[in-house]
Structure 1
Amino acid sequence: MKGARIFRTIQVKLIIIYVLLILIGMQLIGVYFISTMKTSLMESFTNNLNEQANILTKFVEQTLSPSPQNANTTDEQTLEDLRGIVSTLFSINEAEIQVLDASGKVLTTSVPSHQSYVGRKNTTLAVSRALQGIRDNEQEMVGEDNVRKKVVAKPAFYEGKIIGAVYIVASMNELFETINRVNGIFMSGMLIALGLTGILSVLLAHTITNPIKGLTRHATQVAEGRFDQQVPVHGDDEIGQLSEAFNEMTGRLQEALSAIEEEKEKLASILTNMSDGVIATDEHGIVAVTNRRAREMLDIEIGHGVPLTELLGLSEERMAQLRGLSEQVIMIRKEKPEYEHNYTMRVTFTPIHRRDKSASGTIVVLQDVTEQEKLEQSRREFVANVSHELRTPLTTIKSYAEALEDGALQEKELGERFVGVIRNEVERMIRLVTDLLHLSRLDSSQAPLRRQETDIAEMLEEVADRFSFQLRQKSIHAEVQIAEEITPAWLDRDQIDQVLDNLVSNAIKYTMDGGSIELSAIMTDAGSISISVKDTGIGIPKKDLSRIFDRFYRVDKARSRNMGGTGLGLSIAREIIKAHGGTITLDSEWNEGTIVTFTLPTLQERGTAE
């Protein structure tokens, strides 16, 4: 397998390509050269052989012709002449020359060992064709000694008649030896060229593949997150330009990844610190991302990989409707022990679209609207309570006014009583409107605090003195207890007096004759002043304690209204204490009494407003 991988490398492929190109090129050149050289040598050999055959034919025609000059020559002399011509003038290395008469009998031969052929007929095809008067008689043959030979036969004429023929058989050994030597030289040159080409191709491939290997190493390092490495640039060629482009790409990629990481951290920080819950799902509705707030709202530890239907408690059909092409909003209510009412979430489904308009997921935003729902409910109750509180006295005023108009005004005693009722109801409405305006100013921070140095003990004593008449009327014992460590505090004396007046007034209203009320002030461990109003009255049921500071909330509505209360006193007290930076609490047991405690920070610097 390792050897197979080697042949897959670019360097080896380049070497093989170069060597194969050179090999194919030299083979084509060699084939063409050898073929051309062989053809040329063969033509030269054949032409030389034909020329010698033609010359010999001329001598044979002169010798064998029955001319007057040959009339006195005997046959024996003629044969001697032919032997002399063949042996002396036309001696061809490794060639046999035969002179034949018109019948095809061999008159003489140049090969001594073939003297037995003399007087016999030569029946070869070339001779037969020559004796028939055909001049171009050439053929190649392989002799008994396994040597390739060239055969040429030429006819001899005298006055248009064939008087004989010349038959030449020449060995082609020397010709093919020459061709073989040329082939050997060419093969040696080709091998040397291939060797040099291989060496040069290795060097050339090395110069090409080394930068590519370097690019590969650096690309691997970049893939591993190491962007500080730079590819060396060795020239202005294509590889050099590629290296420069790679370095530039690495720099831009590093900048892009840094920007992405920065944006990712920002997004993670935003998601983590969002007051709303965020859930991201894939196209199949499986949760991919949840932030901390979403997990808190859904009361889960890990939401990743869970179907959204399971997290929100929705059916598949309902979820399919919500994952539409547009934004969808639903309300989900759950019961939680820490909430008095149902825990309410506004869930917004926003689809994520690809470029082809298909949905690739959904973003779900969870908003806790429990307090908003509670405030909306409180607002509705507040409007209803205000309407009710105003409608009752207005109805009474209208009724008594109509009675006066119908004649009650003529009766002095009855008319005065009706006018007194109308006056009381108007005063009650004035108190209600005054309290509402006071609450409105507190809510909108339009009632600035005018702080002054106040002696706590003196303030509580004055409160007790203001209610001494009511206390004596109901035989209620009032006691003021001030801790020794109490120091003067900077506060808005008028508003704190209003709080104390409201608390003491409530304590007197709901304490039976002969009861007791205690006003106390102590220092807390946190350095604040804690002021308490404790009574032995009828108390407040446990079910009403959580709403006792709500506006217009009354434990016994009919009784409270008959006592002249507006249901806003404790609400105003809470807003005043909150404006001072303190807290107010109420603890009560039914038929055992009530204790209201509020804390005020002790400010060391004097101020006129906040």
Structure 2
Amino acid sequence: MKGRSFFRTIQVKLVIIYLLLILVAMQLIGVYFISTVKNSLITSFTNNLKEQADILAKFAAPSLLPNQEGDGDSADNTTEDLNLVVRNLFSISGAEVQVLDANGKVVATSLQVHQSNIGQKNNSLAVRRALQNIPDNEEEIIDEDNTRKKRIALPVTYNDKVVGAVYVVASMTELYETVNRVNQIFFSGTLIALGLTGVLGILLAHTITSPIQGLTRQAEAVADGRFDLKAPVLGDDEIGRLSMAFNDMTIRLKEALSANEEENEKLVSVLSNMSDGVVAADERGVIIVWNRRALEMLEVDTLQDAKLSELLILTPDKLAEFEQGRGGTIVLNRGPQEDAGLAESGDSVLKVTFTPIHRRGKGITGMIAVLQDVTEQEKLEQSRRQFVANVSHELRTPLTTIKSYAEALGDGALEERDLSTRFVGVISNETERMIRLVTDLLHLSRLDSNQAPLRRRQTNIHDMLDEVADRFSFQLRQKSISATVGVERGLKNAWLDRDQIDQVLDNLISNAIKYTLDGGQIGLTARRTADGGSIEISVKDTGIGIPKKDLTRIFDRFYRVDKARSRNMGGTGLGLSIAREIVRAHGGTIALYSELNEGSKVTFTLPLLQEGGDPE
């Protein structure tokens, strides 16, 4: 694997390219050069043979005239002279020269071993062509010894008459050995050239690949998030300018990533601290981004790979409608549904606003859903509607009574003194009831709008509780209810609004007397809390108690456990609500504990303050 990677490097590729170019160039040059040298040598060799053969033909022409055949001695002398000339003057190394007469018979030969061929006829094609006065008779042959030879036959003419032929067979071994030596020299030169080219190629390739390797290391460092390294700039050439451009790009990329990270941190911080939940989905509807508030609202641990349509219970048609338009809004109810209403059931109401994500050239690529918890708003709206309905109901009942009795008086009951007196008394009681209702409502309104400032003064706790018991002594004696007052030892004074706390205690004692059967008991106690920073006042009775299902709403305005009985007892349903607001204005808390048919206990705490408002 490493070998394959090595041969894929640019340096090796450049060296291989250099070597291939040199090799191809040398091969082309070698083929051309050796071919030229070979042709030149062969041509020179052939011309040399032809020149010597031509000289021999001119020399031998007079000796081959037919008129010499009759004189035997003269013919023998001529033959001996030709043999001497052929052997001495026209000897060619490794070559055989024959002089033939007009009949193709050998007259003289240059080789001593072939002297027996004198007088024999040479039947070669070249000789026959030469005797026919055809000048161009040359060819290359390979003899039995696998030796390449050149064969030439020239006609011998005298007075334009063919009187014989000169036949030359010369070995070309030395010529081809010369060509082979040239080939070897050229091959050696090629190897030397390739070696030098390889070394120079490596050096030259290194000058190119070294900056590229630096750029590669820089790119890997940038990919790993390290922007401090810089690519080396080794010159002002193209690679140098590329290195400078890459360094500049690295700086700009670092700045861009820093800005992007800063924006991402801002976005994450905004999403994490938003009071609304945010959920983003891609074009497939798969959730890809969410914040912590969204998990809390949807009561899930994670939204990884969740579908937006399944999570928010969206039909495909509704989702397509949001995507095709500019978004939309739905209200999502989560939690158990009960008939008791939103305040009791613990449901959460989410308002979900959908906004499609548009990308230029690609259309809609996702959807953003913003979740708002409107549970409190719905509760407030429900409370407002219920409050209006309760006020309307509380006012309508006495107004109806007053109207009916006034109409009766107008119809003649006024003439009957006893009847009219009773009717006037009923009208007066209902009027007083409406006055108490309006007074309580105004008091609550002032408390809600902080228009009832506290007038704190130093108050003795024991005296305050005793006075409350005294105020209700008559009602207690009427129902034979025993009342006890207990104050923790050492607890004397507290800094509070005496009038408003008296109103709280009066309301609690009044309720205790109303719902305690004859012969029951009521206890008022006061003590310090465990931390010593607050006072805890409790009103406990042995009355009929309150069902558990009503405990959570007992402090709601106009809420009554037994509506008919409470109204007959003269209650407006606002007493405990007023008490809670007064205690809250003092910075305390109030709570009610009750068991059905066993009794109830209302406890409220008030901070122990000195006249400066500092804790005691």
Shared fold by TM > 0.5?
yes
TM-score category of the 2 structures, normalised to the smaller one: 0.7 to 0.9
The answer to whether the Cα contact below 8 Å between 2:290 and 2:303 also exists between their aligned partners in 1 is yes
String of CA shifts for 1:172-213, please: whole Å, max 9, x gaps.
233222222222221121111122122223333444444555
Separation in 1, partners of 2:548, 2:185: 121
Return the offset for 1:128. 1.1
| Unpaired stretches in structure 2, ≥5 consecutive residues | 323-327
String of CA shifts for 1:525-548, please: whole Å, max 9, x gaps.
231122233445444344433322
Residue in 2 that maps onto 1:601: 607
Task: Indicate yes or no: 2:570 matched with 1:564.
Answer: yes
The answer to whether the Cα contact below 8 Å between 1:345 and 1:366 also exists between their aligned partners in 2 is no
Residue in 1 that maps onto 2:497: 492
**Cα distance, 1:184–1:483 mapped onto 2, change above 3 Å:** same
TM, length-normalised to structure 1: 0.82
**Cα distance, 1:125–1:194 mapped onto 2, change above 3 Å:** same
String of CA shifts for 1:233-255, please: whole Å, max 9, x gaps.
43444544555555555556656
Task: Indicate yes or no: 2:345 matched with 1:341.
Answer: yes
Residues 479-558 of structure 1: matches in 2 within 5 Å?
Answer: 479-486=484-491, 488-511=493-516, 517-526=522-531, 527-558=533-564
TM, length-normalised to structure 2: 0.81
- Report the 3-state secondary structure (helix = DSSP H, G, I; strand = E; otherwise coil) of the residue aligned with 1:547: coil
The one-letter code sitting in structure 2 at the alignment partner of 1:567 is G
The answer to whether the Cα contact below 8 Å between 1:347 and 1:364 also exists between their aligned partners in 2 is no
Residue 580 (structure 1) aligned to one of 573, 578, 586: 586
The one-letter code sitting in structure 1 at the alignment partner of 2:608 is T
Residue in 1 that maps onto 2:119: 119
Deviation larger for 205-214 or 15-24: 205-214
Separation in 2, partners of 1:67, 1:482: 182
Task: Indicate yes or no: 2:50 matched with 1:46.
Answer: no
The one-letter code sitting in structure 2 at the alignment partner of 1:558 is A
- Report the 3-state secondary structure (helix = DSSP H, G, I; strand = E; otherwise coil) of the residue aligned with 1:234: coil
Residues 169-188 of structure 1: matches in 2 within 5 Å?
Answer: 169-188=169-188
Task: Indicate yes or no: 2:28 matched with 1:22.
Answer: no
Separation in 2, partners of 1:452, 1:26: 118
RMSD over aligned Cα atoms: 4.2
Separation in 1, partners of 2:479, 2:498: 28
**Cα distance, 1:593–1:157 mapped onto 2, change above 3 Å:** closer
The answer to whether the Cα contact below 8 Å between 1:323 and 1:362 also exists between their aligned partners in 2 is no
Return the offset for 1:222. 5.2
String of CA shifts for 1:451-507, please: whole Å, max 9, x gaps.
444444444455455555655666665554443433544433443333233223333
Return the offset for 1:288. 7.0
Aligned positions, number: 600
Separation in 2, partners of 1:96, 1:191: 40
The answer to whether the Cα contact below 8 Å between 1:400 and 1:422 also exists between their aligned partners in 2 is yes
The one-letter code sitting in structure 1 at the alignment partner of 2:575 is G
Return the offset for 1:392. 1.0
Residue 454 (structure 2) aligned to one of 449, 452, 459: 449
The answer to whether the Cα contact below 8 Å between 2:462 and 2:492 also exists between their aligned partners in 1 is no
Separation in 2, partners of 1:233, 1:494: 89
**Cα distance, 1:184–1:516 mapped onto 2, change above 3 Å:** closer
- Report the 3-state secondary structure (helix = DSSP H, G, I; strand = E; otherwise coil) of the residue aligned with 2:97: strand
Residues 384-533 of structure 1: matches in 2 within 5 Å?
Answer: 384-464=389-469, 466-467=471-472, 479-486=484-491, 488-511=493-516, 517-526=522-531, 527-533=533-539
Residue in 2 that maps onto 1:134: 134
Return the offset for 1:218. 5.4
Separation in 2, partners of 1:590, 1:42: 137
String of CA shifts for 1:333-374, please: whole Å, max 9, x gaps.
43499x951534538495986968699887777666655554
The one-letter code sitting in structure 2 at the alignment partner of 1:20 is L
The answer to whether the Cα contact below 8 Å between 1:277 and 1:293 also exists between their aligned partners in 2 is yes
